[in-house]
A and B are shown apart, each in its own frame.
Chain A
Amino acid sequence: MSFVSLYFIFFIFVLFGLYYILPAKCQWILLLLASLFFYYLSSAAGFFYVAISLAAVYVAARVIQGIYDKAGKDEDMKSLKKRSRPVLIAALTVVIFLLAVSKAGFRVTDALGVERGQGLARLVIVPMGISYYTFGLIGYLADVFWKKDRAQKNPLKLLLFMIFFPQIVEGPIPRHKKLAECFEKEHKFDYTQFCFGLQRILWGFFKKLVIADRLSVFTSQAFSNLESYEGLVLIIAVIFSAVQLYCDFSGCMDIALGVAQCLDIRLYENFNHPFFSKTAAEFWRRWHITLGAWFKDYVYMPMVTNPGLIRFCQKLKDRFSPRVAKNALSVIPLFVVWLLTGLWHGTGINYILWGLYWGAVIIFSTVFTPELKKAAQILHVNTNSKWFDRLRIGRTLLIFLISRAIVATRSLDTCILLFKRMFMKFNPWVFFDESLYTLGLDRRNMFCALIAMAVLWFFEYKQETGTRIRETVASYNIAFRWFLYLLLIFSVLILGWYGAGYNANDFIYMKY
């Protein structure tokens, strides 16, 4: 079931009604049933992997918890961890193996010459949300291992944590401790929060249907016919592709967080106006926030505190200098994190290149911070001025656009071709000779896309500068408020990209 379908709207409104009628004790059961129903309609075959991952993680967490609970007072954490580590590793192996099979299984079976749907290839399934629920489960298990969370006693509650329907499509990547607390609570209907949730869902539809799906027509045409286009047409396609990705992914998040808010459940924010970031590191604290936070908490920080790495860095300090040692302590984990981030997005060479590209940018700015500051001083650059901030925002956008171009065409060969053709010709006349209207968007639709993007930028800018949009709308009188609601509803209905035999494009991040 797609988020952008009439079935989904019907589904959530029936759920909202039942949710607030039923006794509080039954609310989590209703959410579980709704999530199972949603998952069954969206990815029934995926239940096989879900069941294996659930069983492995549930049992492992309970065993680890049992070791900790039965430990004597004089037993130190080191020996407890030593005893529970094999259990942790066994469960992690199972869930990571399933993730790897779903990501790269077909590559292996294709290489072995096994036809899809035959033999070994029948075991390869790509369950909806596997990357998101696997990361959620790994985080949960690690938290139990590090005593930051307690093992869930009820396997059904753990299952709900895994497949809670608003977050299973594209995240946000959940944290068990917070979400489990939410499921335990009694949820009472709150008119204001419910309205805010609905507004957010509507805004998500606007981003997805009016902007992302419209721009996808242009970008698909450009990237699947690279030989036919060149110069500025392809540069515009890359810019559109970046906006499309943002609207698609953040639009899905608006729908997910809006639905959860209507259910009085707060999920983690996944975006915070990333296009206003001044540095690459800041960009990743504002874009796909829960993925960055997950890698920080479960890969980066454990590596930074790893005794083996610390000893290695101490040797570097003795042999070279303290600066080399300190840089190594951040550079090595950063390299691993970005390699894994690339692999998380896809197993193709261009995704690995994409991860290494971001890693290189962030590592460069980390290692050479003192030199960059010195250069600014020598050149008398006022780094606190507004124009310098704008320059940094522009530079970060450029870094993002280059990264987008690396993966926009899905293979290394086409990526190289895209970069070649983007810069082989300077053709500004495309703005005047109507050739931009030959990529699937006529003049009217191009105008509509540009206006919608301007509206998006306006609201993003207002939020970035401190305006709370939904609270502001709520403060208007009822007539004006409803005028705005209806304007947005009719914008989605009339300007949404539907076409003949409408079937909304899948969300881009759904496949990760």
Chain B
Amino acid sequence: MRDELLELLSNEFPEIDFEESDTMVDDGILDSLTITGIIAAITMEYGIEIPFEEISEDNFNSIDALADLVERLS
């Protein structure tokens, strides 16, 4: 799942290195528009809904956290 998600997001956002940091939101690498793009990519690729409660820094700070989120909601 992790590698598949990494490939998907790297294609969507080639300017972002998703393995660069474990604190992508805190470091300002991901802003709200990028997070929107990630939500769009994930929901449309995997057909899942991400509830608003899951939109937290912890779930978006790293590719591992994002992969966990997708697995949990799939």
Contact = CB atoms under 8 A, between A and B. Distances in A.
Interface string B40-68: 11011000011111110000000000000
| Residues of A contacting B: mostly | helix
B30 interface: no
A326 B50 CA distance: 15
Interface in A24-77: 77
B33 A305 contact: no
Given A147-B53, A281-B33, A300-B32, A305 B40 contact: no
Nearest to B28: A285
Contacts of B39: 304-305, 329
Given A304-B36, A330-B33, A146 B53 contact: yes
Interface in A292-322: 296, 300-302, 304-305, 307, 310, 313-314, 317, 322
Interface residues of A, number: 24
Contacts of A322: 44
A296 B52 CA distance: 12
Contacts of A326: 37, 40-41, 44
Contacts of A310: 43, 49
B44 to A, nearest CB: 6
A148 to B, nearest CB: 8
A399 to B, nearest CB: 17
A52 to B, nearest CB: 28
A148 B43 CA distance: 23
Contacts of B43: 310, 314
B40 to A, nearest CB: 4
Contacts of A285: 31
A330 B39 CA distance: 10
A245 interface: no
A325 interface: yes
B52 A301 contact: yes
Contacts of A193: none
Interface string A320-353: 0010011001100100000000000000000000
Contact of A301 (B41, B44, B49, B55): B55
B51 A329 contact: no
Contact of B53 (A77, A296, A317): A77
A306 to B, nearest CB: 8
Interface of A: 77, 146-148, 281, 285, 296, 300-302, 304-305, 307, 310, 313-314, 317, 322, 325-326, 329-330, 333, 366
9 contacts: A77-B53, A301-B35, A304-B55, A310-B49, A313-B44, A317-B44, A322-B44, A325-B44, A329-B39
Given A296-B32, A305-B52, A326-B40, 4 more contacts: A77-B51, A305-B49, A305-B54, A329-B39
The 8 A-B residue pairs whose C-beta atoms are closest, nearest first, are A326-B40, A330-B36, A329-B40, A305-B52, A302-B52, A296-B32, A304-B36, A307-B49
Interface of B: 31-33, 35-37, 39-41, 43-44, 49-55
